[in-house]
Amino acid sequence: MKKIISAIICVAAGVWVFGNYAKQLSSENALETQETKAEKKNTSKYPERIVSLSPNITEILFELGLGEKVVAVSNNSNYPAKAATKQKVGTFWQPDTESILATRADLIITLWFAQQKSVADSLERLGYDVLLLKIESKDELIEAIGEIAEACGAQKQGEELIERLNEKLEQTEAKYNSAEKVKVLWVIQAEPLRVVGRGTFIDGLVVSAGGENAIGKTIYQYPPISTEELLKCGADVIIQSAMGAENIDRQQEQAEKFWKRYPNLPAVKNNRIYVIESDTILRLGPRLADGLELIGGFLHPEIKD
Amino acid sequence: MAKEALTLKRLVIEIAICMAILFAVMMLCAFAGSQSISLKKVFMSDGAGGIGNIDRQIFFGVRIPRIILAAIVGAALACSGVVLQAILRNPLADPYILGISSGAGLGAIIAILSGISWSFWGGSSITAFSFVGAILTVWLVWWIGRFTGKSQVTSLLLAGVVVNAFFSAVIMFLTSIAKSNQLQSTIFWLMGNITEKSNSVLVTACVLIIFGILVLFSISQKLNVLTFGAEQAKSLGVNIKHIRVIGFAFAAFITAIAVSLSGLIGFVGLIVPHGVRLVFGPDHRRLLPLSAIIGGIFMVIADTIARTIIAPAQMPVGIITAITGGPFFLYLLARYSRKVSWLK
């Protein structure tokens, strides 16, 4: 029993020392960052070294003319071409805190979901400025552009971009809105079959482009559907999200071959199957209107400018 | 080594050596990472320029907390594995066998799906939910196990397996209706992931887990007796019920803390106890502390690999523990199994 008691005392002492050390460390850190923040404010009000953890945020930054100030981006930030040459700080799903620190950033812009938020929390604890954005719909995108512009001192460019984007989106919607609704089956995975459900962001795009989801409302975001459901859904158009950005032509061929097994579907009969690189084209970013135009073109080839 | 009698002096020396190795490994691993940092700069008081000393920030703000967390999580899982294997008298028992994994997973996915983002006391909602989920599930399993049958150990095991399976089905259902980024978040959590936590969370976790390990260590002599079987233990004057309750409660408690901080890291709780048992023998007074320390060492190394191997991206540490742990365990099994049989 004696040795257990003495062991407990030893560990308790160790924990106490460690706790004090940690406390001291964190207060030191806080002090340090307060100082550095004050210093920063003296020199310049707006960030000069920005890190973006998401490809759509990167696109917004470049579109706002802040490309020069972006020092590092997430691995999948591949547009515009200049963004791809920036330093990388981990993947979209797993950003690397160390690499971000090493860039000596003064603003880190992240998205609002568990992995990025935990990195954002760590950075905030260390005294960094973090802008946490939730971009899951068109309205949130517009709002986010405004927030980014304000945080980076590009208010004027921000307003212009928002106006430009809104105008283009409205024009495109107006163009396709009056057309007859086309039934669309948006396939995200062919085997086993999984499609885009109602209420999702892509579904919203389809509706804006003068289409209608061939699958009714379900409890799923991306419902897995049976062959029976598929046969009776009567899709006029099938759009399939590409796997990766390469070999789109080959994927298109494979998709056409795959869908031949359901010759009674109107989409297959009329050969209206399209494979698109949805990850890049349909980002919630400044190119959203172009993506909408592309879908509108697939759904209503009869409408010309 | 295993053949010699265990004396207090021997035990203290062994623990001291293992602790020294643990600290050496922790220090070494603190200098590995996606960024190279210099020792000199880390201990310089202040850096030039407005932003501060980056090397120091990376070292103390990111790596040290993460390494300490990895060590403490590894220790908790390994220690809990030892205790559950002893109490359930089942070599396949691991810290998750009583439903902790699925309970914590269910808590985590509920936190992710509901989008609750508040954080309290430096911990995130996922940490809080998964901890509560784990504790409730263990309580449920314990309750069912007590309710049924005379052979408590068997019904506990069965209750654990069934509750695990049921909750896993609920988890699958919830992930199938999740949005894509929620889905990814859940999958990463289920694969086990160590990230930096705030100092307050870290210190609390360290204190609670070390306390739990000490309590379990205090019953290690009785765990030895328990492995002979219930009848024998009774005839030797050991209060089996009492030991079981303490063992379960504290093993579950430290596992729940570990899981809520790092997600489901598999294999550590299974492989480390068996590995230590093969090398050092089945005496729990030695097995328990050494497993805890070696679990910590294993986890620190695995996490260092996870954060450096595909830098600047990171790999979920659960993948590393399974890939490296499996073959190493097989090697130990082949080398030592002829000398020491399991639970002798």
Q: Hey, which residues does A108 pair with through a beta bridge? A: A51, A130
Residue pair B194/B319 in contact by the 8 Å Cβ criterion: no
Least confident of A230-239, B231-240, B312-321: B231-240
- List phi, psi (to 5°) of B266: -85, 170
Contact B51/A at CB under 8 A: yes
User: In the predicted model, what is the mean pLDDT of residues A76-90?
Assistant: 87
Chain A: closest CA distance from residue B206 (Å): 8
Contact B199/A at CB under 8 A: yes
Contact B16/A at CB under 8 A: no
What are the contacts of A42-50 at 24+ separation with CB within 8 A? A43/B50, A45/A153, A46/A151, A46/A152, A46/A153, A47/A105, A47/A106, A47/A107, A47/A129, A47/A151, A47/A152, A48/A106, A49/A103, A49/A104, A49/A105, A49/A106, A49/A107, A50/A105, A50/A106, A50/A107, A50/A108, A50/A109, A50/A152
Bond before B312 cis per omega within 30 degrees: yes
Separation of alpha carbons A23 and A20, rounded Å:
5
Nearest CA in chain A to B315: A94
- List phi, psi (to 5°) of B327: -60, -40
Nearest CA in chain B to A26: B199
In chain B, what residues touch A94 (CB-CB under 8 Å)? 188, 313-314
User: In the predicted model, what is the mean pLDDT of residues A106-116?
Assistant: 87
Band of pLDDT at residue A143, cut at 50, 70 and 90: very high
Q: Helix B125-147 and helix B152-176: axis angle, to 10°?
A: 140
Q: What percent of chain B has pLDDT over 70?
A: 90
Bond before A80 cis per omega within 30 degrees: yes
Residue pair A76/A104 in contact by the 8 Å Cβ criterion: no
Residue pair A70/A154 in contact by the 8 Å Cβ criterion: no
Q: Position A108: which residue type?
A: I
Q: Which residue has the tokens 């399939």?
A: A240
Closest Cβ opposite residue B119 in set A3, A121, A222: A121
- Residue B340 has a pLDDT of 53
Degrees to nearest 5, angle at CA B126 with B164 and A197 = 80
Chain B: closest CA distance from residue A305 (Å): 35
**Element at A68 (helix H, strand E):** none
Q: What's the token pair of residue A98?
A: 């160390």
**Position with higher pLDDT, B112 vs A41:** B112
**Position with higher pLDDT, B291 vs A13:** B291
Q: What's the token pair of residue B253?
A: 């408690």
- Residue B52 has a pLDDT of 65
Tell me whether strands A237-241 and A50-52 are parallel, antiparallel or unpaired: unpaired
- Residue B2 has a pLDDT of 45
Whether A221 sits inside 8 A of B177 (CB atoms) is yes
Residue A242 CB coordination number (10 Å): 19
B207: left (phi over 0), alpha (psi -120 to 50) or beta: alpha
In chain B, what residues touch A89 (CB-CB under 8 Å)? 312
Q: Position A55: which residue type?
A: P
Range 109-128 of B in CB contact (< 8 A) with A? 112, 117, 119, 122, 124, 126
Residue pair B263/B126 in contact by the 8 Å Cβ criterion: no
User: In the predicted model, what is the mean pLDDT of residues A283-304?
Assistant: 87
Contact B178/A at CB under 8 A: yes
In chain B, what residues touch A25 (CB-CB under 8 Å)? 60, 199
Residue pair A86/A124 in contact by the 8 Å Cβ criterion: no
- Residue B15 has a pLDDT of 92
Q: What's the token pair of residue B338?
A: 């002829």
Burial of B324 (C-beta count, 10 Å sphere; 0-12/13-18/19+): middle
Residue pair A183/A237 in contact by the 8 Å Cβ criterion: yes
Chain B: closest CA distance from residue A159 (Å): 29
User: In the predicted model, what is the mean pLDDT of residues A276-295?
Assistant: 85
- Residue B49 has a pLDDT of 44
In chain B, what residues touch A4 (CB-CB under 8 Å)? 214, 217-218
User: In the predicted model, what is the mean pLDDT of residues B173-195?
Assistant: 82
Which runs of consecutive H residues, i.e. helices, occur in A44-133?
55-63, 81-84, 97-102, 114-125
In chain B, what residues touch A136 (CB-CB under 8 Å)? 179
Q: What's the token pair of residue A225?
A: 């559907």
Interface test with B, best of A94, A122, A220 (most B CBs within 10 A): A94
Whether B51 sits inside 8 A of A26 (CB atoms) is no
Query: Measured between alpha carbons, how far is residue B76 from residues A97, B29, B39 in Å?
Result: 26, 20, 30
Q: Hey, which residues does A55 pair with through a beta bridge? A: none
Query: Measured between alpha carbons, how far is residue B178 from residues B114, B152, B299 in Å?
Result: 10, 38, 31
Separation of alpha carbons A252 and A247, rounded Å:
9
- Residue A184 has a pLDDT of 93
pLDDT digits (tens, 9 = 90+) for A17-73: 555 555 544 544 544 444 444 444 445 678 899 999 999 999 999 999 998 999 999
pLDDT digits (tens, 9 = 90+) for A217-239: 888 888 888 888 888 888 999 99
- Residue B339 has a pLDDT of 56
- Residue B69 has a pLDDT of 93
Least confident of B61-75, B93-107, B115-129: B115-129
**Counting one residue from A and one from B, how many pairs have CB atoms under 8 Å apart?**
125
Band of pLDDT at residue A189, cut at 50, 70 and 90: confident
List, as one string, the DSSP characters of A9-67. HHHHHHHHHHHHHHHHHHHHHHHHHHHHHHHHHHH-SS-SSEEE-SHHHHHHHHHTT-G
- Residue B91 has a pLDDT of 82
Query: Measured between alpha carbons, how far is residue B4 from residues A43, B7, B10, B220, B281 in Å?
Result: 69, 9, 10, 19, 10
Q: What's the token pair of residue B228?
A: 């002979």
